[in-house]
Amino acid sequence: MTKAGEDRLIKWQRKQGRVIESGILTEQAGVFAHRVTDQRLIDRYRVRGNITQRQWEAGDRLYQTWYSAGRSPVQVVGMTVRVDGGGAKREMSEHQALCWSSFAAALKSLPYSAQSLIVDVCLHEVKVAEHTKRVGRGRDGGMYGLSLSLDFLADHYGMPRA
């Protein structure tokens, strides 16, 4: 793609609301890369200013713990042929068990009403408005509830307040 084409693509993506960092240096001399910084829903909330950096770090840490515990959907399935006809057992490793207990402790530290909101937004990519509509709460307190819940989570992780 030509430089002019890249510039038009970036302008179009920015017009669509995508946030792109330009000018990231690569290994090749004189070659610049572009990185989209709002891939997940919680990233977009941070970029828009709906949540603080501390709140984002707490939500991201919860996501990383959940992902390390093996709770995300399996992207690739092993296709080995088995003689006995049984499927392979998926046992939890020691690291996964540690991550799972850390994840469970983080959720238990939150108030019950905040748990479902945090899980929906941070892990399952459900918008705050959709979550509040589904649980039957008014739309007004949704983003405030997310900020408060992420503050509780950051306190659990011992993150310093700014």
Which of 68-72, 80-84, 100-104, 158-162 has the lowest average pLDDT? Answer: 80-84
Amino acid 59: pLDDT = 94
Highest mean pLDDT among 4-8, 25-29, 57-61, 133-137: 57-61
Region 133-155 average pLDDT: 84
Question: Do residues 66 and 120 lie in contact, with contact meaning Cβ atoms separated by under 8 Å?
Answer: no
- Does 130 or 12 have the greater pLDDT score? 130
pTM equals 0.68
| Six-digit token string for 47 | 């970029």
Q: Find the helix packing angle between 142-157 and 94-108, rounded to 10°.
A: 130
Helix (H) or strand (E) holding 34: strand 32-36
| Six-digit token string for 50 | 């709906």
**Whole-number average pLDDT of the chain:** 78
Amino acid 135: pLDDT = 81
Question: Do residues 20 and 34 lie in contact, with contact meaning Cβ atoms separated by under 8 Å?
Answer: yes
Place of tokens 């038009």: 8
